[in-house]
Amino acid sequence: MTTTINTLLVDDDTEYALSLRNFATQNGIHIYHAKTLDEMKEALPKIISGISVVILDIKGMITAKDQYDDENFLSLAITYLDQEYSTKPRIILTGDTEGYKYIQKFRKNEVVFRKGNESEKDMFSLIKELHTNLPEYEIYKRYSDIFQVFDLGLLASNRKQELLDLIKKVDSIDPVEIKNSLGRIRDLQEEIFFQINKHKTAYLPDNRALNDRGEISVRKAHSFLVANSVGRGYEYPLFLSEMTIASYKVACEYGVHTSRLDSGFKPTKYTVQNSFYSLLDLINWYLVLLR
């Protein structure tokens, strides 16, 4: 059975909205319609969990009492969506070339399409793609400060999926997933220390980072970073260093080895969450260190 993709269009042109809705239906997409910014604000809390994309006309009215488009409509709509629904994908529609150029020049992070059948077909294709990848999209938006570590090439690209899988399972109560998540945290921590040694050898030389087999030793590297941060010109603050090594030890014992899994009290989703947020702090620190 084909699943209908739900979207919300905010456009004061009722005739155009009806036309676009009919065209969208032919493409397996349903469009809810709000004519004003106020209507959008009223509708979204009721339907937000069921829609995949918000579509904004570049021009619009704020309230039902308005007789003309308000020049602040788009900026107010974007600000509201950023504050209240920052992880929900959005698209901007414009009926003229100038509006299209404006979005491309001044709002480069926004996706814009021209009104018209051919461009609208492309928009529907993008909506379907966004719908299919919505869980990942929402994760990338929610943790955009973290995922920039991959955009900047500071962590190996294959680790991106590992982090994505970790985030998807961070609330799981399944013992197998808990073990797997702790293992992923350990892998990502080791990758970060490996990259520090690779790119900042002055901060973390080989003889202080690697074991006898030439592999990264997090415990060894951690101890050196703690002892030498002041003298070598970087910070490795207590709240970060203590949490990092503690979560690494937990991840090693319960995410990789199995010797402790038979104990009476086992790691829970809260164990994973605690170690996960420590990992995010480590990634943020690593971003600062390498910039």
90 shares its domain with 228: no
118 shares its domain with 199: no
For residue 99, give every residue at least 6 positions away whose Cβ sits within 8 Å of its Cβ, in sequence order, or none. Answer: 58, 59, 112
In terms of phi and psi (left: phi > 0; alpha: psi -120 to 50; beta: otherwise), the region of 233 is left
pLDDT of residue 101: 87
pLDDT of residue 18: 97
116 shares its domain with 167: no
128 shares its domain with 143: no
Last residue of a domain, one of 133, 153, 178: 133
pLDDT of residue 78: 96
**Given pLDDT bands bounded at 50, 70 and 90, which one contains residue 106?**
confident
28 shares its domain with 47: yes
pLDDT of residue 1: 47
pLDDT of residue 232: 84
Q: pTM of the full predicted structure?
A: 0.80
pLDDT of residue 280: 98
Rounded Cα gap, residues 164 and 150, in angstroms = 12
- pLDDT tens readout for residues 171-228: 999 999 999 999 999 999 999 999 999 999 999 999 999 998 989 999 999 999 999 9
pLDDT of residue 185: 97
45 shares its domain with 163: no
263 shares its domain with 151: yes
φ/ψ of residue 56, rounded to 5 = -110, 130
pLDDT of residue 117: 79
57 shares its domain with 186: no
125 shares its domain with 142: no
- pLDDT tens readout for residues 58-82: 999 999 999 999 989 999 999 999 9
Q: How many domains does the chain divide into?
A: 2
Domain at 21, CATH number: 3.40.50.2300
286 shares its domain with 142: yes
pLDDT of residue 155: 94
pLDDT of residue 96: 82
pLDDT of residue 210: 93
The 3-class secondary structure across the chain, one letter per residue, is CCCCEEEEEECCCHHHHHHHHHHHHHCCEEEEEECEHHHHHHHHHHHHHHCCEEEEECCEECCCCCCCCECCHHHHHHHHHHHHCCCCCEEEEECCHHHHHHHHHHCCCCCEEECCHHHHHHHHHHHHHHHHCHHHHHHHHHCHHHHHHHHCCCCCCHHHHHHHHHHHCCCCCCHHHHHHHHHHHHHHHHHHHHHHHHHCCCCCCHHHHECCCCCECHHHHHHHHHHHHHHHCCCCCHHHHHHHHHHHHHHHHHHHCCCCCCCCCCCCHHHHHHHHHHHHHHHHHHHHHHC
- pLDDT tens readout for residues 116-169: 878 999 999 999 999 999 999 999 999 999 999 999 999 988 999 999 999 999
- pLDDT tens readout for residues 213-266: 989 999 999 999 999 988 888 899 999 999 999 999 999 999 876 555 556 788
Pull the structure tokens for residue 42: 């009223």
37 shares its domain with 99: yes
Last residue of a domain, one of 114, 133, 152: 133
9 shares its domain with 84: yes
Domain span including residue 281: 138-290
Mean pLDDT over residues 30-58, rounded?
96
Last residue of a domain, one of 133, 151, 179: 133
